[in-house]
Structure 1
């Protein structure tokens, strides 16, 4: 179907509210005739929207309807089985033969909705990225739908490696590193978000091809870029964080106004733009949508707890007559850090990568990355501070700070109670392996391969860490 026929077909699936307007109409077709069309409508003032994706034959592949969480609901909610029945009715109305290929796998409660997952099963295991999920609200409305057909059905291996061999293999090569990590309740099986001193297993993700008797990693990662960490000298600048407003930290000028402000729970997202800015032309493509949302803007995230700037990015070009060297830009970056993260030099180290200091006279910004540690050399996992300095203006065009309050880091114990040897014993006493289908990254075309992936023998979820103070096993959250 052409774009206009697909748009009319999309409109036949849903009723578009009168206060919604079209924001995306995208049509993409590949060399072999495959492709997708995407149509979105929204009320941007209320931050509500509706999106439909169709394949080029007009089949519904995705549906997303933002729920009105503020609406009054006084009626009786449908029970789980009634909602499941609505989900299957919807699925069969679009794919009449779906349940001959797909099997109901699990349900999840996601706030006001229940999600029902239907999977293509081989060896009683779900294929990766194959099947569908359907979200149903209290009154039976379908608010989210996603459907993907398996491109290739894998063959079942005739020989499988034994779990005992895998555990023995891990026992001989397993190591642990001491680190500090941010634990999140949505990711980890913990009672509250928390910054903790832990032991992380190395390798952290244990996954093996199931049909090769010599244990072989199913995914070969690219070699890491060589990095060195350079300590930072104590600053002479004594500017305090409290002396600056949010606008002053970000660099917002009088000619700019807030065009969006979104409460995201732990953070508030704020977007500024010049008051007189106008879109040059109506463009409903995806690139046009992002241009309308981002061109000439400044975006920042503010901590809801502290009211301090967590990060910001200038998408609006700023030019000047300066020609700062990398060394001069580094001084600008560290001056900024002293304003926003007092005593930063105690916890940050400059990351220097191979060939990073090569001069590029045409580069408009110099970007610096900083490794975070606890002041005693123990790293904070996955946390990097980034500062980008405009060489022409000396202003900060991008800042990305820690996702936590630095006071939390100061309160973390510096010495573990549990030794590395004890952590290894605890880990191995919980270690098990389970079969699963995973993407075969060695193949050019999309396909699946049977793997063994490590898990906790009690929760059947991946083991992420051992608490360095208590010895508690910290696993991934069970979906």
Structure 2
């Protein structure tokens, strides 16, 4: 189908509300005739929208519907089985023969819907990145759909490594390091920031090809770039009190808020010059991102503290300065003093080996900082970033911690559980299970069978051992 035929096909699949306007019409075709068309309509003031993806024959590959259409605010919810029937009716209406290859696999309960997953099963295991999911809301409406046909069907290995060999291998190589983690970033049902002193297995990535015997066990991971950490001196400036959000970010006169979005624990705010106009009404994906991002300033504000958690300038600022690396670092530390008092107690500058020499022609100088508890114990998965504009001396990008830094002073500095005890607890829970993974070493899409580590009781990945209680901390989802 051509672009216009695909657009008509998309419009035949959904009813577009009168207050929705087209925001994306994208048509992409590859060298071999493969490709897709994307059509999206939205009421951007209400942050509601509909998106449809079609292949170039006109088959529906994905659908997302988010709209406030005046339905009963207190509906009588359908039973799960009836929703499942609705899901299958919808799926079969588009792909009548799909269930001859796919098997109903699981149900997941979401906030406002149930998700029904249909997978291509081999060796009683689903293929990754292949299959279908369908979200059905309380009254039976299909609000999300995605279907991807499996490409190359993998061969079943003739021989597998024993799990006992894998566990023995881990016992010989694993160490355990003290770290601090924010459980909010690991376990999704933790509502508040919950910093814990924990032991983390090192290396933490435990995934193996299932069909290669020792001593050629192959660990699938990318090598980390070595890093060193440099302590930071206190800033030369004093903290400026009671600065507004606009003053922290540098919002200038003549800029206005064009979007404000509730992000759960944060509020997203976007500013742009009041007189800005889009030059071309381009409905491509590139045009969409230009309308949403070009010449904007985006920030995330913590609802809990009311403070700026991060911001990014997409509105280019120019000047006559030519700041050196050292001068930019001073600007960055001055900014940190303003936004994170006593930062020098908890931050260390990250210096990566094999980095290119400083390029004095680039416009921004970016610095990354590791967070620790004041005694050298790092906060896992937390990095502070400050990017300084070399021409203006202004901060073009800041990304701060996901928690209130004052909490670090409340974290115990000494564990109640020894490393030896943590190790024993970890291995009493460690198990491995088989799974199909995409094989990124192959040019064409294919899968390999792997063993991935899990907790023998919950079957979810083990992340940490609590250093105070000995509790096993696992991820919520696989």
In structure 2, the CA distance between the partners of 1:13 and 1:417, relative to structure 1 (3 Å rule), is: same
Alignment correspondent of 1:27 = 27
1:254 aligned onto 2:232 = no
**2: distance between equivalents of 1:373 and 1:457?**
32
Counterpart contact for 2:209–2:450, Cα < 8 Å: yes
Alignment correspondent of 1:420 = 419
Alignment correspondent of 1:142 = 142
Alignment correspondent of 2:300 = 301
Displacement of 1:218: 5.3
**2: distance between equivalents of 1:268 and 1:26?**
30
Counterpart contact for 2:178–2:200, Cα < 8 Å: yes
In structure 2, the CA distance between the partners of 1:389 and 1:478, relative to structure 1 (3 Å rule), is: closer
Any unmatched runs of 5+ in structure 1? none
Alignment correspondent of 1:199 = 199
Secondary structure at 2:143 match in 1: strand
**2: distance between equivalents of 1:190 and 1:321?**
48
Alignment correspondent of 1:468 = 467
In structure 2, the CA distance between the partners of 1:216 and 1:19, relative to structure 1 (3 Å rule), is: farther
Displacement of 1:478: 3.7
**2: distance between equivalents of 1:176 and 1:376?**
18
1:40 aligned onto 2:40 = yes
Displacement of 1:216: 5.3
Counterpart contact for 1:188–1:475, Cα < 8 Å: no
Alignment correspondent of 2:334 = 335
**2: distance between equivalents of 1:370 and 1:478?**
29
Q: How many residues align?
A: 478
Deviation by residue 1:341-383 (Cα, 9 ceiling, x = unmatched) = 0000000111122355734232111111111111000011111
**2: distance between equivalents of 1:356 and 1:151?**
39
In structure 2, the CA distance between the partners of 1:191 and 1:326, relative to structure 1 (3 Å rule), is: closer
1:270 aligned onto 2:265 = no
Displacement of 1:191: 7.7
Displacement of 1:203: 2.1
Alignment correspondent of 1:100 = 100
Alignment correspondent of 1:179 = 179
Length-normalised TM-score, structure 2: 0.97
**2: distance between equivalents of 1:189 and 1:262?**
22
Alignment correspondent of 2:283 = 284
Length-normalised TM-score, structure 1: 0.97
1:110 aligned onto 2:96 = no
In structure 2, the CA distance between the partners of 1:425 and 1:189, relative to structure 1 (3 Å rule), is: farther
Alignment correspondent of 1:64 = 64
Displacement of 1:446: 1.1
Secondary structure at 1:184 match in 2: helix
In structure 2, the CA distance between the partners of 1:355 and 1:455, relative to structure 1 (3 Å rule), is: closer
Displacement of 1:132: 0.3
Counterpart contact for 2:197–2:411, Cα < 8 Å: yes
Displacement of 1:435: 1.0
Counterpart contact for 1:370–1:385, Cα < 8 Å: yes
**1: distance between equivalents of 2:155 and 2:346?**
51
